[in-house]
Chain A
Amino acid sequence: MTSSIERIGWGIAFLLLAALGIPWFLWGSDRVVAGLPVWIWWHVGWMVLTAAVFWLFARRSWGLWIESDAAVGDAEASAAGATAADDRRGDRP
């Protein structure tokens, strides 16, 4: 079910969300918009966006990196791993 594009894509998305929660490009800016410094507005908007992205992740890709990526090592795990691999194949068009 999960492609490596999905795995890496969500990883980059999460990193970006964390990295830009503080608007570094507004460093030193003291512009006030609608009663608050503009960088606080950015932050509020960014947090709403983050929640939306998290919600989307929970709906579409929940379990990514955890449930669908059974590591293959010993006997007990490789059985489970094979099942997961079969699932992946089955989902391809």
Chain B
Amino acid sequence: MSQVALQLGIVVGYLLLALGVGLLAYRLTDRTAEDFYLASRTFGTVVLLFTTFATLLSAFTFFGGPNLAYASGPEWILVMGVMDGILFAILWYVIGYKQWLIGKRRGYVTLPEMLGDRFGSSALRGLVAVISLFWLFPYVMLQQMGAGTALAGLTGGSLPYWAGAALVTAFMIVYVVLAGMRGIAWTDTIQGAFMLLATWAAALWVLDAVGGAGAATAAVAESNPEFLSLGGGVYSPAWMISQAVSIAFGVAMFPQVNQRFFTAGSKKVFKRTFALWPILVVLLFVPAFLLGTWAAGLGVEVPAGENVLPILLNEYAPGWFAALVIAGAMAAMMSSSDSMLLSGSSYFTRDLYRPFVSPDASERREDLLGRIGVVAFATASFVASLYRPGGLVQIGSTAFGGFAQLALPVLVALYWRRTTRAGMLAGVLGSQLVYAPWVLLSTRTLSEALAALPLVGEALAGVLPTAVAEFSLFAGAYFGWGISLYCMLLGLILTVGVSALTVADGERAVAFDVAGAD
């Protein structure tokens, strides 16, 4: 069988398997929103761990991560470990466990709902939902673009980009509408296990072919000695910390991850997953990213726009295995998007449609609305993916920082009873209003900005001293620290400061109390 037919066969096989799992899950569901979105809060340790893991990191593990390690060295392993294995695990407890306790007591399904109820404010509820959808929508679009490109590449262009994206979108709609959270989590679990196995198999295959880790690393020492010394190139301490902190906090506020905090079946599930995070992260990322670094030492050539891992595997592993990993990575891309689709739809129906359009919809009706929301969300992002608008692409690629802005106000609200509605609105809105325009206008220097002014701009720019003229007005980082960290700090100061200056009025701090929880 040819490589292409084999890869397509594996992709189709995966889709059918996922659909089977979805159907199985459909038979088990109650027709309520809580079941559709949260699988009625019943997940066990393995399912919760892997569904969160696969949802988040799938495509990056096989493509983006190894590419980065190939181009700049393996230090991203450390960033990833601190980010997902330690910081996110701590947030898993500090934010996730508390949210779970509160959500179980009060029946919350989404983060905006929880905040809106606690602060007696549908404005806050709507605001957090709108902000989340603002960052999520382009991010889903990026996944559809990725899947369309990958399918077009896989079939050598015989399946055009738009058809690839349409196929994936149609599949996701059917699947998510049928399966809901339970089905998605089950396929994620299969996929997470597959990813671990595939990564280790790939590493062992390559190492076997080149004579072990010692030889592979020695080759890197020859070709790119700077890769083996810690730091250098893009890797500065401030940059590594900025990335780890901003992404870890962003991850915790991504709707599809945050919503999973509500799905745990018991306290024991939380305890176990908490301790397993660092282990899982090391097991997956150390071999995956080292493969990218070793590829540099082995002289693997990567054409622009392609990914290093498939090329490396094509050279050092059997063809069917390379096909399996590529197909798995694409399937992984889809599984991330379906979780986002489901959670995005829940924010839309539960936090925008229901409170602002139809307040007295029944449970049953909300379940139906949720499924319609999935179709609407996926179709809209598909249409957007056909035009690939530059602005949306930029929003999608800065989404982690955008979500990170929500984390500190939420943390303050969870732990400080004196937090007020005004404080929350100020912190949430203030940080977004600085961060979003900033990253969209990034990289303009002062003289470029001045030159845009009519009449005098050009002349003004000409007389500025060079150092001043080249000052980046909207840089991605200042003194090495990412802009997202500055905005997070601003959000924190606004939330605490405005809360301290205002008095609670009609709010229900008691909604977040968990003392005496069962």
**A residues at B contact (CB < 8 Å):** 14, 17-18, 21-24, 26-30, 32, 34-37, 39-40, 43-44, 46-48, 50-52, 54-55, 57-59, 62, 65-71, 73-74, 76-77, 80-81, 83-84
Contact = CB atoms under 8 A, between A and B. Distances in A.
B230 A26 contact: yes
Contacts of A73: 417, 509-510
23 contacts: A21-B78, A22-B237, A27-B237, A28-B231, A28-B232, A29-B230, A35-B213, A40-B77, A40-B290, A46-B81, A51-B277, A51-B278, A55-B275, A62-B271, A66-B514, A68-B515, A70-B516, A73-B417, A73-B509, A77-B417, A80-B516, A81-B515, A83-B515
B513 interface: yes
A74 B509 contact: yes
Interface of B: 74, 77-79, 81-82, 85-87, 89-90, 94, 97-98, 101, 212-214, 216-218, 221, 225, 228-232, 237, 240, 267, 271-272, 274-279, 281-282, 286, 290, 415, 417, 509-510, 513-517
- The 5 tightest CB contacts between A and B, nearest first, are A70-B515, A35-B213, A30-B229, A21-B82, A58-B271
A85 to B, nearest CB: 10
Nearest to A51: B278
A75 B509 CA distance: 11
Given A71-B513, A80-B515, A43 B78 contact: yes
Nearest to A37: B228
A54 B89 contact: yes
Nearest to A66: B98
Given A73-B417, A76-B510, A54 B278 contact: yes
A59 B274 CA distance: 11
A43 B78 CA distance: 7
A35 B94 CA distance: 37
Contacts of B240: 22
A27 B228 CA distance: 11
Contacts of A58: 271-272, 274-275
A79 to B, nearest CB: 9
B238 to A, nearest CB: 12
Contact of B85 (A30, A32, A50, A71): A50
B94 A77 contact: no
A66 B510 contact: no
A50 B86 contact: yes
Contacts of A55: 275
B81 A21 contact: yes
Contacts of A39: 78, 230
Given A28-B232, A58-B274, 6 more contacts: A30-B225, A44-B282, A46-B81, A47-B85, A70-B516, A73-B509
Contacts of A50: 85-86, 89, 278
Contacts of B514: 66-67
**Interface residue SS majority, chain B:** helix
**Interface residue SS majority, chain A:** helix
B513 A54 contact: no
B237 A24 contact: yes
Contact of A27 (B98, B231, B271): B231
Contact of A66 (B90, B101, B213, B279): B101
A51 B275 contact: yes
A74 B506 CA distance: 13
Nearest to B280: A51
A74 B286 CA distance: 50
Contacts of A14: 90
Given A18-B82, A51-B279, A35 B217 contact: yes
A48 B279 CA distance: 6
Nearest to B94: A65
A18 B78 contact: no
B275 A54 contact: yes
A39 B77 CA distance: 10
Nearest to A81: B515
Contacts of A57: 274
Contact of A18 (B77, B86, B517): B86
A64 to B, nearest CB: 9
B212 A35 contact: yes
B513 A32 contact: no
Contacts of B216: 35
A51 B276 contact: yes
Contact of B510 (A36, A48, A69, A74): A74
Contacts of A52: 275
A43 B79 CA distance: 10
A47 B98 contact: no
A77 B216 CA distance: 61
A81 B517 CA distance: 12
Interface centre among B101, B212, B230 (most CB of A within 10 A): B230
Contacts of A76: 510, 513
Interface centre among A43, A62, A81 (most CB of B within 10 A): A43
A55 B93 CA distance: 12
A62 B74 CA distance: 35
A50 B278 CA distance: 7
Nearest to A53: B275
A55 B273 CA distance: 10
Contacts of B212: 35
